[in-house]
Amino acid sequence: MKAIPLDLANRLETMPDASHTAAAVGNQGVEVVGTPFLIGYLEIAAHRAILPYCEAGEATVGTRIEVDHLAPALPGRLVTADARVIAVEGRRILFEVEVRQGARVIMKGRHGRAIVALDRLLARASAER
């Protein structure tokens, strides 16, 4: 793993559609972007921020998500997910994260990721089967 600088940031811009709504995952009639999708956007933004700091054979994995869902996001309108490194402790990286739709803050909080040896991760997962 290469050294990860504090304040390293990344943005993901995406256009959610009807398949990203709460209704699409079973919450009938709730035609707004579902919480799981918004969290996924944050994870992707954080992952892509630190991916260039992985060495061969390493991967990033999510370890923690702590967010507040503050407002509805509408499908068909651009959503931006931002992730900024606020702490690095060994292989564990903590991000401040935020999702916006236009000027509105939709979700904000913190997200933890770790850089792991992929072969060890997969061996551990296989052993637990």
Please tell me the predicted confidence (pLDDT) of residue 121: 87
Q: What residues have CB less than 8 Å from 92, skipping those under 6 apart?
A: 63, 112, 113, 114
List per-residue pLDDT tens for the chain, 129 residues long.
Answer: 899 999 999 999 999 999 999 999 999 999 999 999 999 999 999 999 999 999 999 999 999 999 999 999 999 999 999 999 999 999 999 999 999 999 999 999 999 999 999 999 888 888 877
Please tell me the predicted confidence (pLDDT) of residue 127: 82
Q: Which residue ranges make up each domain of the chain?
A: 9-127
Backbone angles phi, psi at 23, to 5 degrees: -60, -35
Instruction: Name residue 95's amino acid.
Output: F
Please tell me the predicted confidence (pLDDT) of residue 14: 97
Task: Give CA–CA dist 25/8, Å, rounded.
Answer: 33
**What single string gives the DSSP state of each residue in 73-119?**
--TTS-EEEEEEEEEEETTEEEEEEEEEETTEEEEEEEEEEEEEEHH
Q: Domain 9-127 carries which CATH code? A: 3.10.129.10
